[in-house]
């Protein structure tokens, strides 16, 4: 038995590749990484912008509650002296609006005065920063809070 001569290495062997099917996988890692990066960016945008929306909801709630409390302090002096206290609706509305005017980030949607109760609704717009690439550019947050004037000690 004579030893058989080894075949000369071809171009695929010299570069460390297999000769069959090696060329069809070119760029697949780049495409996978691009898809993974886009998914990670979307997830980061969701976390970041959702946090901003939750923060705005808390802030709008605080503004509505504080404006309602400001309006609930506007007791009508005549009704108070008569023993049947009620709110002065015009003054209660003006006091609530004045409070909200000092905080322009929340715009009042409605201020309702009924007896001893003041209800304030505040709307805040939150512009998306990272989720804007998804086609939506903002979220709207609406919060309603009520305050009731107390007449006893």
Residues 72-125 pLDDT 10s? 999 988 888 888 888 999 999 999 999 999 988 777 789 999 989 999 999 999
- Residue 99 backbone phi and psi in degrees, to 5: -65, -45
The alpha carbon of residue 103 and the mean position of all alpha carbons in its chain are separated, in whole angstroms, by 19
- Give the burial string for 99-117 (b: 16+ CB within 10 Å, else e): bbeeeeebebeebbbeebb
Cβ of 96: how many Cβ atoms within 10 Å?
28
Residues 49-68 pLDDT 10s? 999 999 999 999 999 999 99
- Quickly state the pLDDT bin for 11 (edges 50, 70, 90): low
- Residue 26 backbone phi and psi in degrees, to 5: -60, 130
Q: What is the pLDDT of residue 69?
A: 96
């Amino acid at each position: 038995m004579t030893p058989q001569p080894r075949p000369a290495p071809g171009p695929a062997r010299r570069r460390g590749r297999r000769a069959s099917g090696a060329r069809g996988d070119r760029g697949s890692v780049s495409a996978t990484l691009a898809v993974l990066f886009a998914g990670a960016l979307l997830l980061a945008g969701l976390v970041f912008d959702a946090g901003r929306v939750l923060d705005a909801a808390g802030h709008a709630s605080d503004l509505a509650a504080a404006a309602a409390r400001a309006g609930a302090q506007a007791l009508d002096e005549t009704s108070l002296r008569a023993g049947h206290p009620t709110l002065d609706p015009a003054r209660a509305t003006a006091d609530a609006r004045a409070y909200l005017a000092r905080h322009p980030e929340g715009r009042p949607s409605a201020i309702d005065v009924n007896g001893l109760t003041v209800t304030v609704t505040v709307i805040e717009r939150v512009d998306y920063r990272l989720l804007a690439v998804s086609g939506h550019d903002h979220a709207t947050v609406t919060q309603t809070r009520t305050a009731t004037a107390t007449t006893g000690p």
